[in-house]
Structure formats: structure tokens, C-alpha cells
Structure 1
């Protein structure tokens, strides 16, 4: 309950805001205009769009060090530099109200580590400074009710007998006013009478004005009771339900620092179809909740499906400065950067209004978009050099999909979407191998314990001794050298072993570090694969997997069918195997069961063997020698591997991504060979033309 506390400086800012909002044409803020910078694109950052896209946040914090402004109903007003916060009105939990900032801040800190995110406001009541702590908002009153129990338990030490309660957005309107000062005077009368009241900037209608809203009831019954109490205590007041009226509830945020009060303007967006545009400047607008990134253009804050939505409205060409810089390396040849620019522009324009409130989103569901931090002069030059150029077929801009690396051969649509050929078909992509340039070599080694793994070349010292089969031996150069499960350092994966100098290992193979072109994943146990397959196949998943193999491949060699224990694991699209099998980089892979191997007999027949136990090697003298800790098998091309007692599965593959359309690394490789960007685009997008719109 109470009226927002404001310093003299902030009070002056609000008075300027009030005057400007009611004077059309006053304090105009220069927005990025489409006629000056080309067409605009709408990029969703936060939004609840159901199955189409869902990325939500209870709070949006925008920041600018330069001039920026808030647009309401076509009128612009300059905002002070610094931060402005937005939240959505709705069901919340009011945790506590206290005059002691440290108590409120301590409770907020405890809640920050939970799912019940805190919001801390500063308010005044009868001349005292109070701090109000809330959590939420929540989609329903029931969810808020469940949060009460959690919040009470988490912040129990700070509550001092106060009981968290559910509050909502049921409010009463107490008149309309021509200025913020008039609204605040009416608000003060209600606060003095002991009722929670807010000054609100109206968003409905063509003209702007202020109103005062009273209460934060969770139900209509609570609101009815509140109305009776107000009418009994405040004479001559006229009250009406707020209903779906759109407005900006003006509050003051005290939660920017948990050490000392540090206030900022906070707007709670309320009502159906409420929407606010924030115009940026040349310095850009920082979005704190989006990894502190700064973006060109303007920001639109609204309520969609009960949640905050944030859309960046930015000139298309400036959007591409960031996209191209995020999608490929700025050090790549200029022609490869131009390829990405034209493909990204075509993809963006072809999307239309796919995301309802936006054309694209800022993740790789559309294209990677990280704001100004991804920009680079070389990238911007490539975008400018191809300004307006798009890829067309049959007079229409194509959806110019692309992936990181096609693994030497791009995918046929039937391997990804079950579609036919045309613009997209499988073509040679030998330039993909450029992804391996300069990477470390890794040694695939077998230890005396029977455990095998990988050690990076700069930690290995090869010995002059060899095994009877001619395999090299090696040791390591440092104490506690990690032996990795795959030829890649993974900070979140424990090494399979640690060895020291003097410990000898057998070198079974030397391989390139896992990269976008060639990779290794695993080993996966049967239980791990059964778990990751659940819900991703249209067929039953076995309770245990003893054999796993690719039984059908598409034109480029990508997996179209994988069988477990001889039964197909069917999926809707071939590309689904990537997620179904534990997040594989691509579907261009082979599967090796670590506990099995195949022997080609003298009669030409193949016999499958399982496990290392009981295996023996027949020497030239006819003597049979049984294996001990591990069995090493060698193929005709002298590639060796260890056979384990238990069955796990390794995936050896090529490429990164769906493989359809443009291969980014392939384009880089072709550019290195001297091809220009148009020739590269026409190679990856068949039967297409490059047109300047």
C-alpha cells in the first residue's frame, strides 16, 4: 500500500514526462525510420507464443546511456539515461512490507535463487519510506497460491510475523486527470485513507491522460468488498471497475542493488492489448535479461498471452550486421561473408509474420542475433556490398536455410523434411573439410586396465616400442593427464581416467579433434539411449538396447532409418534422429557398438561377436591365446579399436546441422578456392537467381 517515493530529481523527471505526454509533437525522439534505412524487421526476444515460440521473463530491464524515449499513442518523450523496468500486471504474491531496506533486500536475495523471482518497490505511506516485496507474476490465482507456501518457507527468517498473500489485477478506477500532479493528489487522498492506490498512464484511446487505480484484489468478490469500504471511508468518490483498460502503472523500483536502495522507474503494463514503444538512439538499447546485450533500433514491450513480450524493431540491413557476425567468423573471406548476408536476408524476408508479433526470433530457431556485440566492420561491409540482394526461384524469395557444416555432402530434402528436390538437393560440399584446419590431433589409446579413451597430442610422447601387432606405444608428459571419452575437451564431462608419465598405453589410432566436419560422440549406455529416445519416436522404444545400427540411408548418406535390436526406431523426419539419439551434430553418422565386432571367415561369411570375454587369437603356430582385460580388433585398413565387456555405443559422424541448403563452412572453403559469392550461392541453391530488390 502507498504512494511511490521519489527524490526531487526523479519528481522533476516525472513532471517533464507528464507535460510532454500531453503535448503532441513535444520532445520528439528520432526513431529509426524505414524510409531512411530500408525495411524494418521485427525480432521477438521474449514472448509466449505457445508451441511456436516460448521464452518468457517476469521482468524486462532496458538501459541506455544516450538519448532515448517512450512513445505512447504517437507522442514521444525523452527518458533519462539509465535503466527503465517493465513487468506485467497479474497474480502475484505480496511477501512483505517493511521500513527496513536490509530486511527486504535480504528476503529478495533468498528468493532470487528460486523460481519465485522477487520484485522490490519503494513506496511512501504517512511520510514513511516503505519497501514492498513481491514475487511473480503467476498465470493463475491457484499457481500464486502454491507460491505462497514456497515463498513463506524460503523467506521465513525475514518475515517477522507477516504472512505472504495472493494479490491480483482486479482494480477500481477513481477518475481521469489531465496531469500526473492531479493524479498524484487524488492518489494521496486514497493513501491517507489507508487504501493501495497508483497513478496510471492510460493507453486506451487516441488522447492520453492519467487515472488513479485502487486496490490489487485477486477476485471479483474481494474487489466488491473493497469498493464498499472505500465508499464508506472516502466521501464523494466515483469508482468503476478497471476491466480490460490498458495502462502503465507507475511505480518506483528499489531492487537494482541489493546493498543500498537504488531506484529506477518501473512500469507495470496492464490490460488487454497494452503496448509501449521505446525509441533507441545511436548508442543502442541494452536488454539486461538478454545477457546484457545492446541492440540497434527500437524496443516494443507488450503483453501477449498474459506474459511480457519484447520485440526489437530494427532496420533489416542493421539486423543483418549482427546476424552475419553471429553466424560466421568475421575472419572468413569477404565472399563467404557476402554469401551469408544474402542467404540471411532472403531467409528473414521469406518468414513473413511467422511469429505473429514478429517476423523472426533472436535464436537459431530463426537466425542467431546477438545485437551490436556481433557486429564487425568487415561483416558490415559484406552486408552493405550486397544490400537488397535476395535469392529467388519462380519469382519468389526462397527460405534460404543453411547449416554450419554439411559434412562433405549437403542433405536431400527427403533426409530432413521428407520433401522433394528442387531448390534444395544434395550437392558436393568438399569445402567443409576446412573446418579441420589447424586443429589438434588426438591419440586413441588403450590402457592396461582395458579402458580406452583419447589424449591430445601436446600431452603425448610416443615410444619406440610396439605391440606384437605393430601398434605403437606411448606415455604422457604431465602428471594427472586426462584421458577423454571423445577427442574433445568437454568441461562438463568427467575424463575416463588420469595417467602419469611412465605409464604406457597402446595407440590404436590418431584422429582429428572433434569439429564441425568430423566428430565422435558417446559412449552412450543402453539406459541413456532408451531415456533420450522416449517421446521422440513414433514406434515403441525397447526397454534395453543390445544392437543399434543404421539400416537405411538417403541420397547423401544420412540416416533415414535406425534399428534397435533389429526393430526400426521410426521418427517423423529423418533429422529427428539428431535429438532422439542424444543430441548428435548431424544424421550423417555410423554407429559402433563397443562390445561387439564382426569377423570375416575364410568361407567369406560374416560372424558377429559380442564382448571381449572368451575371445582368443590364433597364432601362426596354431596356438590359441585368450584375451585378458580387453580385446583389440583391427580392420583391413589397420584401424584398431578396443572391444569392451559391456555394450555401449559410439557415434562417428560428419557435419553439423541439418545439412540442407547452404553449408557455411563449405562456402568458406569455396571462397578460399576463389569462387565469388554468387557462384557459391547458385551451387548450394539450385535453379535460383540472385536479384536486387
Structure 2
């Protein structure tokens, strides 16, 4: 039977492409040698393709989709609905718990490019294919993309592409491990990870570079494991001199996320200062009136704020370090606050209200796992990616995955 394909007329042309071009098993543990984390690689089999499901647009009313080559539009059962012409922009919309593209409506809609085509979602180009499906807040567009190709972008989005190759390779191993950990544990029926800092940043083709592709290829399939399981290989920009034990920052203990010396002293965020006027602080921390002092109640061994007591002339509040970081838009929770007091004699106040507050801090991020600036420094000093990940993930081993 000959099937006639109905082409969908594009509403407009998509933006030009800028580019350089479920079951897992762990095999072949990389054997640690010596105290610095050198690794001898055992025989490795070929790595089969494995797709990540990345949410690009979540719970929206509509999203622009398309393909760089001619593409097929399918419904959830695999039935072909139409052909999409290359570079034509289409708008997928939410329609009563279903998805509508042009005159086609289905429970979910796939965009599958021909050949080596790319897909367009929202305002960026991606490798792989697209699934648009209804979710609680409207529709969600998910990029199904090969794990290794996904990492081409993640490494470039999370770390400057001009940094030493060994640092980029350490980032690739960490990001691959984190992605697969989320894939195995998230329990989300729609996607494995998102594309923001709430997971790890993924920006499609625009963040790929020859250096990120090389870093991914030269570590293909390598992940970090502890007691045979892929670890939650979180990472951050800079710790401010020392990373943290995970239970001091979050709630769950992880034997591989331990406090270690960081080598981030050359990071521009190693030390930083922010100053807030009394009015600015009162606007960002409400419910206590004019703020008189901020007093640390609990801190980690490295000095990160766990809880802070905020004392005002109209009340007192206790905030977590993360709540305070978000309220003040600070780089980390590793900081001290110093008030600037007015001339008490001139105001006549027995308890003076500070005129401003100076926040002096160190580092950027939660301080757990791999420090990106520390990795850069270690690589600059001649250490390889195996030594870098061995330093930041205590007791973890490298392994290679294959798909069964």
C-alpha cells in the first residue's frame, strides 16, 4: 500500500544552524594504581547508543519545533502523520490534554529528522529527535539524544571550551556519571533531566566545540562508580579552598562526596564581596523590620552557613544558608556578614540600626564533588583527568558502560 505523506506548510524559517559539524551494565573497571589516582585501562568493548531524555521546554502552552532536514512527524503509536520540510518552523500547542501541530492532533507527537539532521526546540538547535507530549501545565518538549552527543554540549555549557583538555575530560566523566545516575533514579516518566543548573546545563549545538567533542570521545562510556553503582557526580564552580562533606550541605550521606582540599585559588570567585544597604536587605528579608544583625547559628566545618538567625527591630527569623543565598543572590553559602553602624550619639538610638551590610565570601556553588576551577588548576599543573576525578570523588572508581 502506498502511503501519501501530507507536508505541513512552515510558518517561517528557522534560525541558521551554528555547529561544528535502557538497560545498563558496568564492565571493565579501571584499576587504580598508586596514591595519585593513575588508572590502567582494561580491554573495553564498543559502546552502543544510549539515549537521554532532556526536557527543553516544560509545561508551556506552545513551543516552536522544526528540523534542519526533511523530517517525519509521527504520533505516539508510530503512525506517520506528515512530512516537515527542512528549516520550516512549526508551532506545537496544548489542546485539551493533547498536542496539536498545524492541523494534526495526537496524544503525543514525534519529530524525526532524516539523515544527520538536527531538531529545533524553542530557540535552539539540538542533535537527536523531539517528543512533544501533554503534561500537567500544558505541553513539554523533550529532546531524545545519544548520551555521548548530549555530553558534547554539556561539557561546553558547564566549562569554558578553551580550558585544558584534561579538565574537560574530567568534566565529561562527571557529567556522564551524573546524567546516568539521574536516568536511573529520577523516576520521572517524561524525562531524565532538564537543561538548567537544577540538573546540568545543556544548550544544544551552540555550546559544542572541537575540544568538548574530543574530551567526550577520549572518555567514551567512562563513569564513576562506588561499590558497583554509578555515583551522583555533582560538581560546582569553586569551593573557596576546601570542598564539603555532602551531609553537611544536603541531608543524605554519600561516601564519595567528602571534604578535600581544592586548588581553586586562581578562580575569580575564590573571594568576593557584596554590599547591601539597610533598605536593600530589609526588602529582601521580610518580617523582621529593620535588620540589626545576622548571626550564624550552625555552620559546616569549612564555614558554610547551615542556618542564620536574622535579628530585626520587629522580630527574628531563622533562614537556611540556601534561603539566604537565594534571597541575596550570593555565589555560595560560605560567607561572613559585617554591619556598618551609624554614629550612635548622632541618632540617639540605644540599639543602632546598621546603615549597610558587607558580605565577604568565597567560592561559587554548593562546594560538593568536582571543583571546576580546581580541575583547571590540576590540569594546568600536568595532572590527568583520572587523577582529577580521583581527588574530588573519594573512593570512586572508573568503569565503562555498555548497553545490553
> In 2, Cα distance between the equivalents of 1:568 and 1:686?
40
Alignment match, 2:390: 682
Q: Select the structure with the greater relative contact order (CA < 8 A; seq sep ≥ 6).
A: 2
- Looking at CA atoms only, which structure, 1 or 2, has the larger radius of gyration? 1
- Matched ranges for 1:160-239 at <5 A: none
1:673 aligns with 2:381: yes
- Aligned length in residues: 350
Shift in CA distance, 549/667, structure 1 to aligned 2, threshold 3 Å: same
User: After superposition, what is the alpha-carbon deviation per residue over 1:197-219, rounded to whole angstroms, capped at 9, x for unaligned?
Assistant: xxxxxxxxxxxxxxxxxxxxxxx
User: After superposition, what is the alpha-carbon deviation per residue over 1:602-660, rounded to whole angstroms, capped at 9, x for unaligned?
Assistant: xxxxxxxxx24659xxxxxxxxxxxxxxxxxxxxxxxxxxxx99521111111011111
User: After superposition, what is the alpha-carbon deviation per residue over 1:113-142, rounded to whole angstroms, capped at 9, x for unaligned?
Assistant: xxxxxxxxxxxxxxxxxxxxxxxxxxxxxx
Shift in CA distance, 568/337, structure 1 to aligned 2, threshold 3 Å: farther
Contact 1:591 1:649 in 2 (8 A): yes
Alignment match, 2:243: 410
Alignment match, 2:32: none
Give 1:560 shift.
2.5
Contact 1:87 1:268 in 2 (8 A): no
1:275 aligns with 2:108: yes
SS at match of 1:85: strand
1:433 aligns with 2:272: no
> In 1, Cα distance between the equivalents of 2:305 and 2:193?
30
SS at match of 2:255: coil
User: After superposition, what is the alpha-carbon deviation per residue over 1:634-693, rounded to whole angstroms, capped at 9, x for unaligned?
Assistant: xxxxxxxxxx99521111111011111111111111111111111111111111111112
Give 1:46 shift.
2.0
Contact 1:415 1:574 in 2 (8 A): no
User: After superposition, what is the alpha-carbon deviation per residue over 1:515-571, rounded to whole angstroms, capped at 9, x for unaligned?
Assistant: x2221122242x43344335xxxxxx5222112233442111212232233997434
Shift in CA distance, 365/249, structure 1 to aligned 2, threshold 3 Å: closer
1:570 aligns with 2:318: yes
1:365 to 188, 193, 198: 198
> In 1, Cα distance between the equivalents of 2:100 and 2:339?
62
Alignment match, 2:119: 285
Contact 2:152 2:209 in 1 (8 A): yes
1:39 aligns with 2:28: no
Structure 2 gaps of 5+ residues are 8-21, 24-45, 347-351
Contact 1:342 1:386 in 2 (8 A): yes
Give 1:574 shift.
4.0
- Matched ranges for 1:466-477 at <5 A: none
> In 2, Cα distance between the equivalents of 1:269 and 1:519?
53
1:385 aligns with 2:218: yes
Q: What's the TM-score, normalizing by structure 1?
A: 0.47
Contact 2:73 2:110 in 1 (8 A): yes
Shift in CA distance, 569/416, structure 1 to aligned 2, threshold 3 Å: farther
Alignment match, 1:224: none
Contact 1:88 1:306 in 2 (8 A): no
Shift in CA distance, 568/557, structure 1 to aligned 2, threshold 3 Å: farther
SS at match of 2:330: coil
> In 1, Cα distance between the equivalents of 2:276 and 2:163?
34
1:322 aligns with 2:153: yes
Contact 1:87 1:269 in 2 (8 A): no
Q: What's the TM-score, normalizing by structure 2?
A: 0.79
Alignment match, 2:28: none
Shift in CA distance, 317/568, structure 1 to aligned 2, threshold 3 Å: farther
Contact 1:346 1:398 in 2 (8 A): yes
Contact 2:311 2:317 in 1 (8 A): no
